[in-house]
Chain A
Amino acid sequence: MTSVFGVPLPAILGQLMLGLVNGSFYALLSLGLAVIFGLLGVVNFAHGAFYMLGAFAAYVGLETFGMNYWCALALAPLAVGILGIVIERLLLRHLYQLDPLYGLLLTFGIALIAEGIMRGLFGASGKSYPVPDALRGGFNLGFMVLPIYRAWVIFASLAVCGATWFLIERTRLGSTLRAAGENAALVQAFGINVPLIVMMTYGAGVALAALAGVLAAPVVQVSPLMGSSIVIVVFAVVVIGGMGSILGAVVSGLVLGLIEGLTKVIYPEASNIVVFVIMAVVLMWRPTGLFGRESP
């Protein structure tokens, strides 16, 4: 059998495939973080909590209202996005003039509260969400069986990331958004309602997190802690990609997923820290991240 570094090739390909699945989640989550940071300058520590709430919204929708997966995919991000908008309106917007640290503390507090409430309601062990019938089964790739659902995760995540990138970098709405991030006063002077834009942007970023949560629900146990266990890695991904860079977030999300998968084959013990080692190296070499621009 063909092998690389004494590891059989099928094992490597299998772990790389799983890495790609994980990377898709990293990409989707860091995308939302990057949008929020890039346009609002807020370090959204509640991102993991919104991801968790998205998964729970899907679970509750299924258990209580019999809502199917496809409806959940649309409605859960909408519901959680609206929650995000409410939080932005009531709390976050009062902090824009202050040091970014305050926004970080506020969102961290929100994350802790959301986690605590969900733990109180659903317990710590988590609930399982079934894979939708249409996506059951697997493709036999020769080296492994790839469950159809995981293939769908990769596809959906890439599609959403691509669409978001296009929207922000290539459309008129996107340039307005970016301009509002660069110089709010000037954009306001052109008669554009900047507070509304900021509010909608936060809502959209939060909805992206919730969408990732719905996608993750059938893969992992839906649990109150699912957010806090992934958000640290996602922050590392965003830092590596360059804070606020959309392309950076997506590319480094996918690449880091792959590197993590590869580490699991070569030296499994290091797989939990490899992302952070890379972050440290990147920060030493390029303090603004791989795709980051020097701040003006």
Chain B
Amino acid sequence: MLKLAALAVFVLASLLDVSQVRAAGEQVVIGTIEDLSGVYADTGGQGSVEASAMAIADFGGTVLGKKIVLLSVDHQNKPDIGASKFREWADQQSLNVLLAGSNTGVSIAMAKVAAAKKVPFFAVGAGGASLTGADCTPYTVHYVYDTTALGNGTASAIVKEGGKTWFFVTADYAFGTQLQDAAARVVLANGGKVLGAVRAPLGTTDYSSFLLQAQASHAQVLGLANAGTDFINSLKAADEFGITKTMRPAALLTFVTDIHSLTLQTAQGLYLTTSWYWDLNDETRAFAKRFFAKMKKQPTMAHAGYYSATLQYLNAVKAVGSTAPDLVMAQLKKTKINDVFTKNGYIRADGLMVHTMYVMQVKTPAESKYPWDYYKVVKVMSGEEADGSQADPACVLVKK
């Protein structure tokens, strides 16, 4: 009897499975895996999911006559959670594309799943340049910015103004070390020197002892190779301990929401590199206004990136008339990207989306005329200037 019941359950379960797969075939499934609760929840987080939803709504909610479904989950900055959720969605939900980010370590783990499952993967909020280098896959698109561009923007601007000796406070995982390496390369290439570095765990709240080490180095520049609340906490502590009076802080990755929490009083004068700013032109302002109405804050470059990546994926699906991953990837790689996020962007052989980057300076409180009026453009870098004109030779996809 028990055996029979077990058999019935098994049969029912397998029927259920089939019906789920069929349902999934009738829709296009877009997944977002983000840091919804941790140090990057403000720079990416729920706003990223919302931006994707906006793109789907703008696209009309359907593609090829199929309904577009958006899934989202919190990776909690844990690579194993991100990768296993991605695998689960690919196996059970017929996931068509993944947009994910804010955390390079998690993104590297997810890129491996993308390659194994052949699911296009847009790394949106993460920075590590290795995503299109040693860790590249045929299905990865690195979308918003990478550590190379950040180094070429911020570090080179500061070193050219005479900030020759550097000490880094670095987030202790893949992103921090890659960002420090990228910045250090630029510093050395411009005749500067790196006097030392200290690694602080992700999510450190009290930076005082790390900062005293930085101060003891007597370097001119305090390189903050971190992001999100890590960046906010370290800069705040540097200000509190008077270190910003003797050392010039270099914000190697900054989002507009960080400046908002730091306030201009603390952040004024900082150089930073960004791929997008809400107040660049009428088009960006219009997008920002819609986003603000939903999230009560201005969109970061990651949010605009999520919107754009979702839209570009759907455009590609529509153009090839299929969600077949290889067809869609080929279409993406041969199409110029023109939307609110960037103009004339293109996806390189290694998967990097090459586009304009801006070196910005944070305004002083006197210069800021209205809420969220935080940046002035110092320099516009072409995509090639930011990321080099050649694809990364460390990537196996690049023909040598």
Which A residues fall within an 8 A CB radius of B?
8, 10-11, 14-15, 18, 21, 119, 123-126, 128, 131, 138, 140, 144-145, 147, 149, 219-221, 223, 226, 261, 264, 268, 271
Q: Which of A131, A138, A220 contacts B241 (CB 8 A)?
A: A138
Measured CB to CB, the nearest residue on chain B to A220 is B205
Instruction: Give the segment of B24-32, B34-42, B113-121, B310-318 that binds chain A.
Output: B34-42
Does A18 lie within 8 Å of B212, measured CB to CB? Answer: yes
Cβ of B196 to closest chain A Cβ, rounded Å:
12
* Interface residues in B, total, Cβ within 8 A: 24
Does A221 lie within 8 Å of B213, measured CB to CB? Answer: no
Given contacts A126-B229, A221-B233, contact A11 B242 (CB under 8 A): no
Residues of B within 8 Å of A138, CB to CB, are 240-242
Cβ of B331 to closest chain A Cβ, rounded Å:
38
| B31-58 contact mask (Cβ, 8 Å, vs A): 1 or 0 | 0000001110110000000000000000
Interface centre among B205, B212, B236, B242 (most CB of A within 10 A): B212
Residues of A within 8 Å of B242, CB to CB, are 138, 140, 145
Does B229 lie within 8 Å of A125, measured CB to CB? Answer: yes
Residues of A within 8 Å of B41, CB to CB, are 123, 125
- A18 and B216 CA atoms in complex are apart in Å by 14
Q: Could you list some 18 contacts between A and B, CB below 8 A? A: A10-B216, A11-B213, A11-B216, A21-B208, A126-B229, A128-B261, A138-B241, A138-B242, A147-B240, A149-B240, A219-B206, A221-B229, A226-B205, A261-B209, A264-B209, A268-B198, A268-B213, A271-B209
Does B240 lie within 8 Å of A14, measured CB to CB? Answer: no
Residues of A within 8 Å of B213, CB to CB, are 11, 264, 268
Residues of B within 8 Å of A261, CB to CB, are 209
Interfacial residues of chain B within 65-122, with CB under 8 A of chain A in the complex:
76
Leading 4 A-B pairs by shortest Cβ distance: A145-B242, A11-B216, A220-B205, A221-B205
- A11 and B167 CA atoms in complex are apart in Å by 15
Does B212 lie within 8 Å of A11, measured CB to CB? Answer: yes
B215 interface residue (CB < 8 Å to A): yes
Interfacial residues of chain B within 285-338, with CB under 8 A of chain A in the complex:
none
Does A124 lie within 8 Å of B212, measured CB to CB? Answer: no
Residues of B within 8 Å of A147, CB to CB, are 240-241
- A125 and B42 CA atoms in complex are apart in Å by 9
Does A18 lie within 8 Å of B38, measured CB to CB? Answer: no
Interfacial residues of chain B within 230-248, with CB under 8 A of chain A in the complex:
232-233, 236, 240-243
Which B residues fall within an 8 A CB radius of A?
37-39, 41-42, 76, 198, 205-206, 208-209, 212-213, 215-216, 229, 232-233, 236, 240-243, 261
Residues of B within 8 Å of A8, CB to CB, are 216
Given contacts A124-B38, A125-B37, contact A144 B215 (CB under 8 A): yes
Cβ of A227 to closest chain B Cβ, rounded Å:
12
Cβ of B197 to closest chain A Cβ, rounded Å:
12
- A90 and B76 CA atoms in complex are apart in Å by 35
Q: Which of A14, A126, A219 contacts B212 (CB 8 A)?
A: A14
Cβ of A209 to closest chain B Cβ, rounded Å:
18
Cβ of B216 to closest chain A Cβ, rounded Å:
4
Cβ of A62 to closest chain B Cβ, rounded Å:
15
Does B212 lie within 8 Å of A220, measured CB to CB? Answer: no
- A10 and B241 CA atoms in complex are apart in Å by 14
Measured CB to CB, the nearest residue on chain A to B233 is A221
Cβ of B354 to closest chain A Cβ, rounded Å:
32
Cβ of A208 to closest chain B Cβ, rounded Å:
21
Does B39 lie within 8 Å of A125, measured CB to CB? Answer: yes
Residues of A within 8 Å of B212, CB to CB, are 11, 14-15, 18, 144
Residues of A within 8 Å of B236, CB to CB, are 128
- A97 and B85 CA atoms in complex are apart in Å by 47
Cβ of B209 to closest chain A Cβ, rounded Å:
5
Residues of B within 8 Å of A123, CB to CB, are 37, 41
- Given A124-B37, A125-B41, A149-B240, 14 more pairs with CB closer than 8 A: A8-B216, A10-B216, A14-B215, A14-B216, A21-B208, A124-B38, A125-B38, A125-B229, A126-B205, A128-B236, A131-B240, A138-B240, A138-B241, A144-B215
Cβ of A220 to closest chain B Cβ, rounded Å:
4
Does A18 lie within 8 Å of B209, measured CB to CB? Answer: yes
Residues of A within 8 Å of B241, CB to CB, are 138, 144-145, 147
Measured CB to CB, the nearest residue on chain A to B218 is A8
Cβ of A131 to closest chain B Cβ, rounded Å:
7
